[in-house]
Chains A and B, each alone.
Chain A
Amino acid sequence: MNAPESLFDATTLEVLWTRLRSVTDEAAKVIVRTSFSTLSIEANDYSCVLTDAQGNSLAQNTASIPSFIATLPATTRHMIAALGRDTMREGDVYITNNPWIGTGHLNDISLVKPIFLAGRIVAFAATTSHVPDIGGRIRSAEPREIFEEGFHIPPMRLLAAGVPDASLLQLLRTNVRTPDQTVGDIFAQASALGLMESRVQELMHDHGLTDLDALAAQLFSLAENAMRAAISAVPEGTYENEFLTDGLEEPFRFRVVVTVKGGEIHADFSGTSPQQPRAINCVLAYTYAMTAYAIKAALLPDLPNNEGMFRPIKATAPEGSLLNPRHPASTGGRAATGHYVPPLIYGALARVIPERLMSAPGSPLWIFTVAGVRADGKSFANVFFYNGGMGATAQKDGESATSWPSNISSTPSEIVERDTPFITHYKRLRPGSSGAGRFRGGLGQEVLLENRHDGPLPVVFITERLKFPAPGLVGGGEGALGEVIVNGKPLVDSRLQVILARGDTLLLRTPGGGGYGPASERDPAAIERDRRLGYE
């Protein structure tokens, strides 16, 4: 216990931390209210963070999705290093969408703003949000290098002492398909930063604080100790796991060695396949976010995020691998790789703490994109998401057709039919798709779409688990494979663009989640219920 420990008592600390978190939640509402991006709103694809003066996370908005764990504080520290603390002025806002510095793909634009009090930087506010378009190719796995993926903004000033960089904005507007919306969303983020700035200044005034250093140190050490204690409940040792995934011509290998020692967890992904000339590479920041998410959900789910909590968690992957690619790797579909990280880690830890874990879900997330030209000559582009079943746990069956580890809604069928030339013949649960077990996995879903567009309609998929199913845990069965079926025929390579003619049909069957424990131990009443409700 060091000196700062005694500065704030348990009630003052609780009050201050609650208020800091409410500042980030308030900022999140500003983003939701002012964003153009459907993704920001329907998928919570944004995040707001407050850091201390060094860029360590004090608070993150409650609904922030796992992809953004620890990314914004890292972005903030990159900004401090790249631009230099001495050059920072009141009213500055910094910007980047560099995947390695930011969140792993160009579509997420991150902003950072220094918060000053009495002429000194006392904190940073940072936000990131998925913009409607960033130029480059329409979302698919096809880009081979980042240069094909859109407009790339290195760490730089968006606002210098409150004045926007007109050249940057003009370049950006010129390079994206939706200049008003993309720029509008960036300024929505800037409003959120402004709100966080004034709220932090008010808070410091109300509580008579001249800096946040002592508060930060105390919060970090408490959270760090809690995470260390939680990790210490896991038997020390080295636990390995590996599996194959659909890959391209050849399957990809995912491998992890999880070392639990001295209250720390280290996930080393050595042995994972090399980076690929496709937009499915997952930068280390995203790999880390998925690792930290998996550990937190298993060991310390209730405590709000801060920097200290993640100090005992380390992730390493060989440079040039799928989970730590080098520039200029393309990364747009990083989720198709990164979403394998949590089940990979859970598979390793299953030997010691299966009761804390979840079997593999029917993720990564499925994405499909259509782009075309309407009869009236206007172009359109739509992105759809579909989720498989969640994995089972020691306590319950997996939820059917539910997003995990991400948290993205699928588009309602009525909206699909209103906004695109598709008609939906069915969108329903997929009976029999769950992994068997004492508790079964969640069901996948099946969606049959028919194209009613007259011209040729190109569609692009990012789908996973068409070849390798979601494994169960401790004797649970694997979930059903996903299937993509065009005009009644299974698609051979779902990563290639498909051109649909009018009347062509597209059947998507998302994968089921893995089961937990031997199926022979399933409660007969649950078996009877599954039969009655037609889940079998």
Chain B
Amino acid sequence: MQETPILDSDGAAPVLRVDSLTRDYPGVRAVDTVSFDIAPGTVHCLVGENGAGKSTLVKMLTGALEPTSGTMQVLGRDYAPANPQEARDGGLATLFQELHVVEELTVQENLTLGMEQSRFGFLVSSDLDRRVVETLKAIEPSIDPKARVSALSVAQKQIVEIARAASSGASIIIMDEPTAALSEREVERLFGVIRRLKASGVTVIYISHKLDEIFQLGDMVTVLRDGKHIATQPLSEVDGRSELIEMMIGRTVFQTYEPRTAVTDEVMLSAEGLSNRLLKDVSFAIRKGEIVGFYGLIGAGKTEIARAIFGADRVSGEIRFKGAPVAASPKKALAAGIALVPEERRTQGLFTSLSIRENIPVMNLRNMSEAGLYRSGLERDAADDYVRRLNIATSSIDKHTEKLSGGNQQKVVFAKCLFSEADLLLLDEPTRGVDVGAKTEIYDIIRDLADAGKAVAVFSSELEEVLGICDRVFLLFDGAVQEEITNGPDVDIAHILNVVTGGQGAVQ
């Protein structure tokens, strides 16, 4: 713990100092002794691949997560927020990816929420009202402060949040992927606001996957990789996207992919020109015995493609499964032999209050009954069988699934889908929140399934994952397939990262 803030080379005390910050999760060290300083009045970018530790770091900064060890200082004072409110009191406001506005209140009421000036419990108009309205006008003059937030578009709501953070008097504003929902024109406007904030002495910590934005906006960049601090340096000293990408990926040794022999020529599923609000003319085919990857950053359209195939969302275009068109309904997709392992396993994939035994047959209860009566003996047999085959670590098949580890929960979801006798498995982020050991096992299961003649589509934002197991990979950006690559020893990782971050080679 520093008694007096150490001055950096320019003589300005850092507005934020992170010192040996570490955060452990069971089996994983998400952030590993990270130290760096942020100078006041700068736009400081934070980059790294998925799983590099950015979000864990941000959670510690915002008080959502406690560090395992290490310290933080804001303006030379020790800073250890226990919750987001304390973070804000410490001068650090955050724009989260999810919107935190109250739809039922007006724009102005949202801007002053929690900071209302009152006399005897009744609101009085104050400088604050004038100030927030001015801030809003400077950012987006078209938004009426008296309008109800529920009548605004998503982008407008986000701008309200930005105006809120800007007018709350914070010395540091963290922006986590703020442009994800904004149009180009709005992005320009946001950048203008960020520059004005900077000029007024506010520090912005800017997190984005879009590297172009980082070069356009940032003064400094901090790169994280595998939870470790790689570099903090002025962006003017970074030699373009390629050097930044190199720092992000380093010499990561990817799990070696070995060409698989089970891939056939028989097309299991074909999609032609899928389009909806988020997808732009997406076409592809998945063959029997093949593992196909869809790789892209958050918001690139991965989940949307999975949901479209499964019939959960409406799309234009044509989807044919085993040569026949599929009706747009999850029930019919399931009946035809398509199963989806959803992204949010705890909320969408599992009945966490039920046991392993009760979870496995839910997608195919007909196989569990005879003459309309449920046979619990069959259920037990099936559960025993899958626990053994998928190596689910549990003391009993009667254990509630909420008590299992992430990896074992995921295996139960797999078992559920396998028991439904699906031929095409759609796996959305299949190893998110799963420890390393279980990851390897899940990859083995996926390969075994494909070898056994099923088709598997893996939707993932982890490059290591898709390059480790997939035979072919579709690179997604902005709701469109930018490129299809065949996996092999000579894949160009830097090129892939360039494409999915919207660089050259991407169809704009």
Are A and B co-members of a single complex? no
